[in-house]
Amino acid sequence: MASRNFSLDEFKKWMNSQDDIVYEIPQSHHVIGTRVESKLNARRLANRISPESGEVDDLVVDFIEMGGTIADVDGKNFLIKTDSGAFFVPRLYVRPA
């Protein structure tokens, strides 16, 4: 039996031709209200958040020490609320508290 090499281009063409496959978008809204903590140290976290309200330094210190609560989901980002304010952070940088 002859073996074929894997071709990424052929795979992409095959995926595009698969009209009958339904992809489900996971509903992430069930995580709203979950307490979370940072996976990163303060310096790295400060470089990865987008503040909605409050000062970056206060938000980072508060989140590192006390954690926060997921208030909203925006794609792959969580809106985290802390006592100091709120900020967006990619979900891969937080874990359940």
Average pLDDT score, the chain: 85
Model pTM above 0.75 = no
Q: What is the mean pLDDT of residues 5-11?
A: 80
Closest CA to 42 of 93, 91, 4: 93
Length of the chain: 97
pLDDT the model gives residue 39: 93
Whole-angstrom distance, CA of residue 79 vs CA of residue 72: 5
Does 25 have pLDDT greater than 60? no
78 to 3, 8, 14, 40, 81: CA distances (angstroms): 45, 32, 34, 15, 10
Q: What is the mean pLDDT of residues 16-31?
A: 63
Q: Are 97 and 33 in contact (CB under 8 A)?
A: no
pLDDT the model gives residue 12: 79
Q: What is the mean pLDDT of residues 82-91?
A: 94
Ordered domains of the chain (ranges, CATH): 28-96 (2.30.30)
pLDDT the model gives residue 22: 56
